[in-house]
Amino acid sequence: MEIIPEGKHFRLVHESELPEILVTLERYLPESLKFHQTIKTYLNDRIWDFKFYVAKDWPEKPIILHFPGCTLAPHNNIYQTLGIFCPSAHIEHIDMMRTENVLIDWQKPMYLNFTHIAIMNRLDDFYSKFGVMERLSGDIYVCKKLNAELELEPLPEDAEMRLLTLDNVQGIHELYPANEIECVRLFDILVRKLPGLGIFRKDTNELAAWMVHSYYGAMFSMQTRPDYRRMGYGIRLAKSLTQLVIERGYTPFVVIRPGNDASRNLYTKLGYEKAFETCRVRMTPDCYEDSTVGTISNSSYAKFPPLPQGECVIVAGRKVGPGYSQSQTVDEGIEDMLAEKCDIRSDEARPKTTTDEGIGEDK
C-alpha cells in the first residue's frame, strides 16, 4: 500500500535517523524498552518492514509511532495497527493524537499492541467520547541481571534442548495463542534471524516446548504441549533464552498477566523485576459495524482480531465484554500477547481447543 510521508503532527523517519533516535529513547528507559528494542532489531536484523514516525518537533516532543503495530493488519492497511511511545513525564504530547487525522482514521477500528498504561489512559480521555477501548492488561518484567546461580534439574534422558529450525515454524505458529495477530511468515523470519529454543523428544523428534526472541526484544511466547507439563521445561527454556538475548545485546523482558503467580514466580527466580504496567487495546468507534471486516488475503495480512470475550476484558470508563467480572483471570503463562487465540469466528464455529502456555503446570 502507499506509504504516507507526513501526517498532521508526525513525519516519516529516514532509516539513517534511527540510531540517533535510539539514543534519545535510552533517556526514557525502562518505559521505552519495547519501542527501543523494536528499532534495534529492525536495524540489526530487519525482522519486519516497520514505518517509523516522530513528532515534527522531535525530540522536544518525544512521541514516536510505528506502523504496523503487529505483523497482521486488517484490510492490508498497516495504519489500522500501531505502536506508540511517549514518556509518562511528557504524557501531554499524547494529545496530538486527538487531531492526527492523516495517519489515523479514528472512524475505523485501531489495534495497539502492549503499550504503557499512562499512554492508554491519555488516549482514552478523548476516545471514550466516541468509541470503546477494550483492554487486556499485563505487567512488564525486566531482567537486568540473570540469576546464573539458579540450579535446575537435568532434562530427562529422552529429551534435548536445541535451536529451532525452519521445520518447526508451522508447528509453533499453530500453537501460538495469538496467531491471528502475528503471521506465520514472522515466525519463519524469527527462526532464521533470532534465537529460538525448543525441547524435543529424542526418539520421535517431537517438539515438546518452545520459546523465541521477538522482533521487539521480548521473550516471545512459551508453549508447552499438555503431555510435557510439570517437567521443568518452562524455566529451563526461559533461563537459556534469557542468556542468549543478553549475549546479543538486548534487555530481556516479558509481559505477565496480573494474577498469574506461576509466571511471576518463575521469572523472579531468574532475576526479573516488575518495571511498569501495560495493556493491549482494541479501539472501536461506536458507529462501526463489525459484522464483516474483510477477508484473509494470501499475503501476510488478515482480519482485525477481537480481544478475548468474557475473559479479563476491561473497557476503560465504559462497558465491558460479555460475562466480564472483576474476579475473572486467565492463566496464560508468559505469552507476551497475553491473549487466547484471537479467533474471529462465532463460538459455535470455533474449534474446541485448549490454549497451553505451560507455565501454570511447568514449575
Secondary structure letter of residue 29 according to DSSP: T
Residue type, 166: L
Chain centroid offset of residue 322 CA: 24
- Give domain status of residue 46, yes or no: yes
Assess if residue 164 is contained within a domain. yes
The Cα–Cα gap between 215 and 194 comes to: 8
pLDDT at 217: 76
pLDDT in tens, 107-134: 999 999 899 999 999 999 999 999 999 9
Measured CA to CA, the distance from residue 260 to residue 268 in angstroms comes to: 12
Reported as type and span, the H/E element at residue 23 is helix 18-26
Rounded distance, CA 316 to CA 309, Å?
15
How many C-beta atoms surround the C-beta of residue 126 within 10 A? 15
Please enumerate in sequence order all residues whose Cβ is within 8 A of that of 66, keeping only pairs 6 or more positions apart, or say none: 35, 38, 50, 51, 52, 53, 82, 83
Asked if residue 325 belongs to a domain, the reply is no
In this structure, are 195 and 307 located in the same domain? no
Percent of the chain with pLDDT over 70: 79
Q: Quick one: pLDDT at residue 289?
A: 63
The answer to whether position 354 is within a domain reads no
Mean pLDDT across the chain: 80
Residue 198 has pLDDT above 80, yes or no: yes
- The verdict on 14 and 125 lying in the same domain is yes
Instruction: Verify that 35 and 134 share a domain, yes or no.
Output: yes
Report whether 210 contacts 172 (CB < 8 A): yes
Residue 130 belongs to what domain range? Answer: 10-139+280-292+303-315
Is 347 within the bounds of a domain?
no
Percent of the chain whose predicted confidence (pLDDT) is above 90:
56
Are residues 143 and 272 in contact, defined by beta-carbon separation less than 8 angstroms? Answer: yes
Which of 246, 223, 221, 229 has the alpha carbon at shortest distance from 148?
246
For residues 111 and 44, state if they share a domain: yes
Measured between alpha carbons, how far is 27 from 33 in angstroms, rounded to an integer?
10
Pair 266, 224 in one domain: yes
Provide the domain count of the chain. Answer: 2
Question: For residue 291, what pLDDT is reported?
Answer: 46
pLDDT-derived band at 350 (thresholds 50, 70, 90) equals very low
Residue with cell 531482567: 143
- 129 and 167 belong to one structural domain: no
207, 307: one domain: no
pLDDT bucket at 183, cuts 50 / 70 / 90: confident
* pLDDT top residue among 166 and 290: 166
Beta strands of 104-171 (E only): which ranges? 110-116, 131-143, 159-163
Q: Are residues 175 and 198 in the same domain?
A: yes
Same domain, 123 and 189: no
Residue 346 lies in a domain: no
Q: How confident is the model at residue 94 (pLDDT cuts 50, 70, 90)?
A: very high
pTM for the model: 0.80
The pLDDT tens digits of the residues spanning 34-61 come to 999 999 999 999 989 999 999 999 999 9
Per-residue pLDDT, 339:
31
Mean pLDDT, rounded, for 67-73: 87
Q: How confident is the model at residue 300 (pLDDT cuts 50, 70, 90)?
A: very low
Q: Is the pLDDT of residue 288 over 50?
A: yes
Dig out the grid coordinates for 254 from the structure.
516479558
Where does the pLDDT of residue 344 fall: very low under 50, low under 70, confident under 90, or very high at 90 and above?
A: very low
Choice between 86 and 315, residue whose per-residue pLDDT is larger: 86
Cell of 206: 517431537
Contact assessment for residue 10 and residue 100, using Cβ atoms and an 8 Å cutoff:
yes
Omega cis (within 30) before 351: no
Query: What is the distance between the alpha carbons of residues 242 and 237, in angstroms, rounded to a whole number?
Result: 8
Residue 273 has what DSSP assignment?
E
Mean pLDDT of the 164-179 span: 85
* CATH number, domain with residue 266: 3.40.630.30
Please report whether residue 334 resides in a domain: no
Q: Residue 329: pLDDT band by 50, 70, 90 thresholds?
A: very low
Domain membership flag for residue 17: yes
Q: Compute the average pLDDT of residues 19-27.
A: 98
Residues 14 and 46 in one domain: yes
Query: Look-up: residue for cell 470475550?
Result: 309
* DSSP β-bridge partners for residue 81: 111
Same domain flag for 96 and 175 = no
145 — pLDDT class (breaks 50, 70, 90): very high
Q: Are residues 67 and 81 in the same domain?
A: yes
What CATH number has the domain bearing residue 123?
3.40.630
Given a cut of 60, whether residue 356 has pLDDT beyond it is no
pLDDT for 106: 92
